[in-house]
Amino acid sequence: GAARARGGRALGAGTLVLTNASGGIRSDLAPGALMLVDDHINLGFQAPLAGPLHPGEERFPDMSRPYDGELMAFAEEVALAAGIRLTRGVYGWVGGPNFETPAEVLALRAAGADVVGMSTVPEAIVARAGGQRVLAISVVTNRAAGLGLEVVDHEEVMAWGAVAGEKVAVLLEELVPLLAAG
C-alpha cells in the first residue's frame, strides 16, 4: 500500500488519487454509491511511517486535512457534469484482510465513520508525509457488517465494485488529464 505512494512520488507525482471498496455505514451509502473521503479514522493499528524515515518524508506530517479540499471540489464539478452522484464522508480503516465485525461497525459509526474498508489510510498518510496532495474515492460495495440483512459476501462486493467501477472510470477519465495539466 504505502509503497505505491512512495513509488509515485519517486516518479514525480505530486498528487495521489486513491480508490477503494468499502462497506456503507451511513444510511444513504448503499451499494453502488460513491463517496469522496474527506477524513479518516485509523483503526488499522498500523503505522506506515514507523521504522527508518524514507527520503523526502516528514516523520510527523500534519493530518488535519489529509485529503485535498481543492481536489475534492474539482472531482465534484466533474461528477456533476457527468451526472454522477458523489457525496463526502469519513472513511473508517480496519486492517483486514477480514471484513469488519458488527461491533467494529458500531464503534466506527459512534466515532463518525460513514464507510469502512481495509485500504487507503496507509497510502494517504505516506503521501501526506511526502508532501503529496491526496484525493480518495470510496466505492460502496456492500452494507457494513451487521447493518444489512445478510452476511458480507466477497462475490457481492466484487459485483458491486464492477458496477460502481464504471462510474469511477468516467470520473478518472475526466479528472486525471486535468490534474496532470496543472
Q: Convert the pLDDT of each residue in 13-60 to its tens digit.
A: 788 999 999 999 999 999 999 999 999 999 888 888 888 888 888 899
Q: Which residues pair with 21 in a beta bridge?
A: 139
pLDDT in tens, 80-108: 999 999 999 999 999 888 888 999 999 99
Domains of the chain are 2-181 (3.40.50.1580)
How many helices and strands (H and E) does the chain possess? Answer: 5, 5
Those residues whose C-beta lies under 8 Å from the C-beta of residue 176, and which sit 6 or more positions away, are 17
Is residue 18 within 8 Å of residue 121, measured between CB atoms? no
